Amino acid sequence: MSTETLTIGKALNLGLRRAMEDDAKVVLMGEDIGRLGGVFRITDGLQKDFGEARVVDTPLAEAGILGTAVGLAMRGYRPVCEIQFDGFVFPAVNEIITQVAKIHARSQGRIPMPVVIRIPFGGGIGAVEHHSESPEAYFAHTAGLRVVAVSNPADAYWGIQQAIAHPDPVVFLEPKRRYWEKAEVDLDATPDPLFASRVVRGGDDVTVLAYGPMVKTALQAAEAAQEEGRSLEVIDLRTVSPLDLDPVMESVRRTGRCVVVHEAPTSLGLGAEIAARITESCFHSLEAPVLRVGGYDTPYPPSKLEEEYLPDLDRVLDAVDRSMGF
Amino acid sequence: MTALPEFTEVVDPVPGAAAPHLPPSCDSGTVQLLTPEGDRVEHPEYSLDIGDDELRGLYRDLVLVRRWDAEATALQRQGELGLWASLLGQEAAQVGAGRALQDGDMAFPTYREHGVAWTRGVDPLHVMSLFRGVDNGGWDPAARGFNLYTIVIGAQCLHATGYAMGVQRDGAEQAVLAFLGDGATSQGEVNEAMIFAASFSAPVVFFCQNNQYAISVPLERQTRIPLYQRAAGFGFPGVRVDGNDVLAVLAVTRQALQAAREGQGPTFIEAFTYRMGAHTTSDDPTRYRLASELEEWKLRDPIARLKAHLSRSGIADATFFESVEADADELAARIRSGTVGMPEPEPSSMFEHVYAEKPAPLAAQQAEFDAYHASFEGER
C-alpha cells in the first residue's frame, strides 16, 4: 500500500525525486538547493543522491538561473528552477518573458522549452518585504507560459511531476504558508490532469473560486457558511493559465453567484479576468455581479499588517453576504 | 578624489586621433596576423596554418556577406524590409569567428551576425524573412548549429552558457560561441553569464565585437578599461584581436574554442572593429560621430587588406576576383527575388506554436479570429 501522509513540502520533495528517477535529463537549479536542501528544504537530500550535476547550487543570480536553464533546455535537458522567494523572481523576469515564454513560438516549434519555475508564493508567514508576493498575474498575462498553483499535498506530488514532464514552460506556484499542511497521498493513484480545475466542495448558493493558499481559506468559509445555512460550492482553480473555466461556468449557471478569492492585488488580478469571462458566458444566469476578494492595491504591507491585507474567512463570508444581497 | 592607481586611462588612447577611443591598428595588446596594408605578420602566441584554398574561401565569404548586406540595406530603403541591421565593417570579425567553429559546435548570435549565419550554412532568405516581418528567423537552429537571433541585448550569453553546461553533462567535446557587442558588456545578464561560465568552467567562448558604439553611445560610457581586461575579473583569459583581420580572428577564436572543448573553460575575445554603417536602417550616425572617424576606419577595411594579400602573394588572380564578384551578383539577385517573392504569412499562423500543446482557451480565441475573418468572405 503506498498511501502516505505527507506535507506539501515533503510531497514536492518526493515528486521531484520521482521525476529525477524517471528522466535523467531533469536538472534542478537554484540558490541553496544542494547541501542545504533549499531554504524550505523542498530539495532536501536530492543532491546527495543525484549529484552536483543534477542538483545545482547556482551562483546567486536569478536571471542567470533562468537564462542558463534556457540553454540547458535547448540542449535537451529539463531544468527545474527554484526561485527562493516570490519577490526574488523579478531579476529573472526578462529571461522568463522575453525568452522562456517566446522561444517555442519564435522557433516555429523547433525549440521546446520544458522549463519549470518553482516559486514559493503568497504571504502569511510573518516575513520581511519581498517574501510574501503573489506575482501570478504577470506570468498569466504572458503568452507561452503556463501557470499553476497547488493547494494540497496530492496535487503537489503529482503536479510537480506533470509540470516537469510537460513540453511547455510552467510557472509552478507553491503556497509557502501551507508547506507544512498534511494530507494522505496515494502514490499509485492516477492523477487528475494538471491544467484542470476541480470542484472541492459541492454547494448550491454561491460559487467560490480560489487557488493555492486561498483554497483552504475558501473551504473554511464554506464550513462556516454551512452553519448559517448557506451552501457554498468551492472550486480549486489549480491552473491559473490556461484557465479551465468550464466547471466554473457549469457551477455559476446553477448558483447564479460567484466570488473569486486570491491574495494578489485585486485590480487587474486573476479575479478581473475570471469575472469578465463569467459575465460573457453566464450573463443570463447571474443573480449578482461576480465579486472579488483579494489583496489591496498597495505594496504587500509589513507583516504586522498582513492579516489585514490578506483575504480571510470573514472577508470571504462578507463577499458571500454581499452577493446574496443582490 | 584620490587618484586611481590603475586603470586611469580609458581604453588605449591614440595621440592625435580623431576620437579618443581609436587605437592604433595594432598595439602590443592586440593580436594581428594581417596588417591593414595586407602584410602577413607573426604573433608569438597565435599562428595560423592555412592553405590557399581556405584563404580564397575567406575572401569569398567576406565579399559575399558584404554584398548580401548591401542588398538588404537597399531592399529596406525600397520598402521591402521593415528594418536591417548592417554588418558593414564587421565582416572579418564574423567570418573569422564563424569559420573557427566546427561541426557540433553551437553559436548564439545577436541580431547582426549575418556573416556568422553565412558560415553556418543558414540560407540568407531565412534571415531576410525576419527583417521582412514574415517570421522571427526561418532556420533550424539545431541543424545549423546556430541559434535564432536574440534581440534583447545580451540574453543569449546566458543561453550559450547554459547550453555549454549541457555539453559538459553530455561529456561531449564541443564548444559554444556566444556573440555580444560592446554595449552588451554592461548588461547584468552578460556578467551573470560570465560568472556562471567561470564557476562551472563551461565550454563557452564569449566573442565580443567591439564596434565602438551601442547605437549612439560610445565605448567610454560602457567601460573604463579595455573590454578584454574584464575577463581577468571573472577569472578566465581575455584577448583582444584586430577584428578587421579575418586571419587573426580565425586563429584566436579557433584556439579559444579548442581550449573550451578540452575542458579549459571560457575565454573572452574582444574583436576590435568598427560599425561602418548605421546601427540599423532606422539610425542616423551623423548625429553622433564624425565623418573623419569613419574615414580613418576605412583604411583598415577588412576586405581590402585580404585582397591586397591575396593579389600580392599570388594566391589569387584577376579571374578569381571576377568570379567572386559574379558569385556576389548572383547571390544578391537571389536574395532580392527571394525576398520580394516571399509569401505572406497566414493570419491564423500567429496562434501556432505559442505552446507545444495548444490550450483550449487559445484554440477558442483562434476559432473566433478565423470566424471573424471568414465573415468578410466575398466582400474583398
Asked whether residue A176 falls in the same domain as residue A229, the answer is: no
> What residue in B sits closest to A74 (Cα-Cα)?
B163
**Does residue A71 form part of some domain?**
yes
CA distances A91 to A95, A290, B226, Å, are: 9, 35, 28
- At A128, which CATH number? 3.40.50.970
Which cell numbers in the block locate residue B74?
A: 537597399
pLDDT in tens, chain A (326 residues): 589 999 999 999 999 999 999 999 999 999 999 999 999 999 999 999 999 999 999 999 999 999 999 999 999 999 999 999 999 999 999 999 999 999 999 999 999 999 999 999 999 999 999 999 999 999 999 999 999 999 999 999 999 999 999 999 999 999 999 999 999 999 999 999 999 999 999 999 999 999 999 999 999 999 999 999 999 999 999 999 999 999 999 999 999 999 999 999 999 999 999 999 999 999 999 999 999 999 999 999 999 999 999 999 999 999 999 999 99
The C-alpha angle B359, B361, B364, rounded to 5 degrees, equals: 110
Among A71, A75, A144, select the one facing B158 at the smallest CB separation: A71
Q: Give the pLDDT band of residue B29 (cuts 50, 70, 90).
A: confident
Asked whether residue A23 falls in the same domain as residue A142, the answer is: yes
Among A68, A108, A109, select the one facing B161 at the smallest CB separation: A68
- Quick one: average pLDDT of B36-49? 96
Asked whether residue A16 falls in the same domain as residue A39, the answer is: yes
Weakest-pLDDT range from A8-17, B20-29, B305-314, B316-325: B20-29
Asked whether residue A86 falls in the same domain as residue A180, the answer is: yes
Q: How many domains does chain A have?
A: 2
| Of A133, A154, A186, the domain-final residue | A186
Structure pTM? 0.95
Q: Give the pLDDT band of residue B378 (cuts 50, 70, 90).
A: confident
How far off is chain B from A141, nearest CA to CA, in Å?
A: 13
Interface contact flag, A107 B141, Cβ < 8 Å:
yes
Among A68, A70, A167, select the one facing B196 at the smallest CB separation: A68
Would you tell me which CATH number, out of the four given (3.40.630.30, 3.40.50.970, 3.30.1490.100, 3.40.190.10), belongs to the domain B30-340? 3.40.50.970
Sign of the C-alpha dihedral computed for residues B59, B60, B65 and B68 taken in this order = positive
> What residue in B sits closest to A167 (Cα-Cα)?
B356
Asked whether residue A170 falls in the same domain as residue A282, the answer is: no
B355 touches chain A (CB under 8 A): yes
For chain B, what is the mean pLDDT?
93
In the A/B pair of chains, how many CB contacts fall below 8 A? 136
Question: Does the complex come out with an ipTM higher than 0.90?
Answer: yes
Interface contact flag, A71 B135, Cβ < 8 Å:
no
Q: What pLDDT is attached to residue B21?
A: 43
Q: Give the pLDDT band of residue B152 (cuts 50, 70, 90).
A: very high
**Does residue A316 form part of some domain?**
yes
Q: What pLDDT is attached to residue B36?
A: 96
Instruction: Give chain A positions within 8 Å (CB) of B168.
Output: 53
Q: What pLDDT is attached to residue A197?
A: 98
**Does residue A260 form part of some domain?**
yes
> Which residues 6+ apart lie within 8 Å of B350 measured at CB?
none
Q: What pLDDT is attached to residue A40?
A: 98
Asked whether residue A10 falls in the same domain as residue A132, the answer is: yes
- Quick one: average pLDDT of B311-333? 98
Give residue A203's domain range: 198-324
Interface contact flag, B160 A94, Cβ < 8 Å:
no
Is it the case that residue B8 has pLDDT exceeding 70? no
Asked whether residue A124 falls in the same domain as residue A219, the answer is: no
- At A223, which CATH number? 3.40.50.920
CB A195 within 8 A of CB A244: yes
> What residue in A sits closest to B166 (Cα-Cα)?
A72
Asked whether residue A271 falls in the same domain as residue A320, the answer is: yes
Is it the case that residue B3 has pLDDT exceeding 70? no
Instruction: Give chain B positions within 8 Å (CB) of A103.
Output: 148
3-state SS string for B97-148: HHHHCCCCCEEECCCCCHHHHHHCCCCHHHHHHHHHCCCCCCCCHHHHCECC
Closest CA to A45 of A20, A73, A79: A20
Active site residues of A: 131
Asked whether residue A175 falls in the same domain as residue A245, the answer is: no
Is it the case that residue B379 has pLDDT exceeding 80? no
> What residue in B sits closest to A112 (Cα-Cα)?
B356
